[in-house]
Structure 1
Amino acid sequence: MSMFKVFDISGSAVSAQSQRLNVVASNLANVDTVAGPDGSPYKARQVVFQTALMAAAGNVSAGRDDPTLTTSAGVRVSTITEDQTPGRKVLDPAHPQADGEGYVTYSNVNAVEEMVNMISSSRSYQNNLEVMNTAKSLLLKTIQLGQGS
């Protein structure tokens, strides 16, 4: 495996985790919302990852049954799904969004779960950046060895 593939693999993970962090931020921003623009409560969103095969650079026959084809696997966001769990209901008859029984339906975002997702995503993002920095350092040291320094 070429050392340069490390940048593709880690780069795809950094990009995917960046999208996940944006979704988590959106969920946390809407943790206490009552109704969205369509009148229904905000639904938490979750990122679904998928393996992404990446062919060797310059190889046009990617995806074909070529035994000499070298591929590596990265990650990409396949979809962003909405959690269909019902939102939490709070009894507040004075609230303008209260239903006939006096309950207000809030978003179904679980703040604790989202904080765990944020920490996990942030650490994965940082780890992949560290992988790229380590690969860069190794490549620079290899060049220095080749120069005889």
Structure 2
Amino acid sequence: MTFDAIGVAGTGLTVHRKWLDAISDNIANVNTVTGTDGEAFRARYVLAAAGEDGGVYVQGAAYGDAEGRLVHEPDHPLADADGYVRYPDIDMAAQMSQLILAQRGYQASAAVVDRAKDTYTAALQIGRN
């Protein structure tokens, strides 16, 4: 039972770490500019699914719109003839909310691993006495 708890919580740690990685990549690229002839940076979203063993696993990734948003910046070196450049369509507020959720999930999974480890250690101590 204890090893099951560690295994299930371990899958949660992995999914939340990958979620945090995706969010940090999205935030880091929120101001990445491209010309209007190219694609905007596409935000990455982690898709998770429940496993048969009670854990959770990364099923894949979904990506944001490559169209992004056009911004009029005629002085930008990548601006087209009409003065537009392409920015990613990333909502910073939504990313920050997702960041908090992913951090809390990671912390909860880590706490489960710690509690299960403590339980296993206590059981070993009882067995020795």
TM-score by length of 2: 0.89
Distance 1:73 1:100 in 2: 55
Distance 1:33 1:25 in 2: 14
1:47 aligns with 2:46: yes
CA deviation after TM superposition for structure 1 residue 101, in Å: 2.6
Contact 2:11 2:56 in 1 (8 A): yes
Cα 1:104–1:35 change in 2 (3 A) is: closer
Distance 2:3 2:118 in 1: 12
Distance 1:97 1:33 in 2: 11
1:28-70 CA distances to partner (integer Å, 9 max, x unpaired)?
Answer: 110000129x9321011111001122xxxxxxxxxxxxxxxxx
Distance 1:130 1:94 in 2: 51
Residue of structure 2 in register with 1:18 after alignment: 17
Provide the alpha-carbon RMSD of the alignment.
1.9
Distance 1:98 1:35 in 2: 8
The structure having more radius of gyration, on CA atoms, is 1
Distance 1:105 1:111 in 2: 17
Residue of structure 2 in register with 1:145 after alignment: 126
Contact 2:34 2:85 in 1 (8 A): no
Distance 1:122 1:75 in 2: 16
CA deviation after TM superposition for structure 1 residue 118, in Å: 1.3
CA deviation after TM superposition for structure 1 residue 74, in Å: 0.6
Residue of structure 1 in register with 2:8 after alignment: 9
CA deviation after TM superposition for structure 1 residue 83, in Å: 1.2
Q: Which runs of 5+ in 2 are unaligned?
A: none
Q: Which runs of 5+ in 1 are unaligned?
A: 54-71
1:131 aligns with 2:115: no
Pairing of 1:55-134 with structure 2 (within 5 A): 72-84=53-65, 86-134=67-115
Deviating more after overlay: 78-87 vs 21-30: 78-87
SS at 1:81 equivalent: strand
Task: Give the number of equivalent residue pairs.
Answer: 128
TM-score by length of 1: 0.78
Distance 1:115 1:85 in 2: 21
